[in-house]
Amino acid sequence: MSAGEKSQVALVTGGIRGIGSAMCRELIHAGYQVVTTYRSPQRKAAAQEWQRELAEDGLEVGLIQMDVSDAASCRSGADDLIERYGRLDVLVNNAGITRDVVMKKMTLEQWQEVIHTNLDSVFNVTHCFLNGMLEQGYGRIVNISSVNGQKGQFGQVNYSAAKAGIHGFTKALAQEVARKGITVNTVSPGYVATDMVMAVPEEVREKIIAQIPVGRLGEPEEIARVVRFLVAEESAFITGADFSINGGMHMY
Ligand code: CAA
């Protein structure tokens, strides 16, 4: 990492658990000042507990409250971040949820919850920081999509639609900011060993794993490593791209 990157500030949304947590660790190790989000005051204690765990490993992470599905909450969280850190160089839109159920049983609420949290969030959070990145003439944005946004998944019309939407968002914004020193890319993880995937019934999960040519679930660190590569200053010529990390589950 160059001297300039040492003071860079990175926000990973939804970094307390799962892949986001591995990304936070990876970026802290790479020298970034890393900040992550917790959704509501009720979740503050759990977030602080995780912060303490990292501190025991000698790693420092900042916490801000931000409900990514809510534009006003994003604005106040972003103001908080800028007040404390002064700038944002790297944004990883990672926060996401599942509400898996077949379409014929899906409620409007299950549809909206996933669209608001997984897709509106990408607009909400990016919107708060884009002007700052444009003013400083530098930024790295990585949007976390999914293999299921590429191929669709039984029981996930909400999730697949939101994750597919991220691809369009990335490609459009990448063009708008390409000459301003800002890159925008998508990372599409496959099935990774996190709470989200472990919540899939075991029998269903085993059938899914059987469809992965590498023969296993991915590790969060295997996704985090690619994010670290993409947010480096040296990755300036990579924009509007989608990186599939799925053990060969979907190739196109
Ligand atoms: N393709 C075709 N048919 C399928 C199927 C598939 N992939 N999966 C199930 N079916 C069939 C079943 O065989 C069954 O058929 P019969 O009625 O003829 O027996 C029927 O559909 C109903 O299946 P289920 O019993 O599974 O239905 P359910 O209502 O109990 O559960 C479900 C539905 C909740 C969607 C469940 O199938 C499920 O959890 N699936 C996994 C969804 C998934 O992959 N989620 C990923 C979460 S992790 C994540 O999202 C991270 C990421 O980015 C990868």
- Each residue's pLDDT tens digit, 120-152: 999 999 999 999 999 999 999 999 999 999 999
Q: What is the dihedral of CA 106, 160, 64, 91, to 10 degrees?
A: -160
> Does residue 164 contact residue 122 with C-beta atoms inside 8 Å?
no
Closest ligand 1 atom to the C-alpha of 145? 53
Please report which confidence band the pLDDT of residue 3 belongs to, taking 50, 70 and 90 as the band edges. Answer: very low
Q: Indicate if ligand 1 lies below 6 Å from the C-beta of 129.
A: no
Is residue 138 part of the annotated active site? The answer reads: no
Strand partners, 34: 10, 61
- The Cα 163–Cα 179 span in angstroms is 26
Q: What pLDDT does residue 6 have?
A: 52
pLDDT digits 0-9 by tens, 69-109: 999 999 999 999 999 999 999 999 999 999 999 999 999 99
Give the Å distance between the CA of 84 and the centre of ligand 1. 44
Examine the pLDDT at 193 and tell me if it is beyond 50: yes
Domains, the chain, in order of start with CATH, read: 9-241 (3.40.50.720)
Catalytic pick among 32, 38, 85, 159: 159
- Write 164-170 long-range contacts (CB < 8 A, 24+): 165/119, 166/93, 166/118, 166/119, 166/122, 167/242, 169/119, 169/122, 169/123, 169/143, 170/143, 170/240, 170/242
Please report which confidence band the pLDDT of residue 5 belongs to, taking 50, 70 and 90 as the band edges. Answer: very low
Count other C-beta atoms under 10 Å from residue 252's C-beta: 5
Q: What pLDDT does residue 194 have?
A: 96
Average pLDDT of the segment spanning 34-55: 97
Q: What pLDDT does residue 7 have?
A: 84
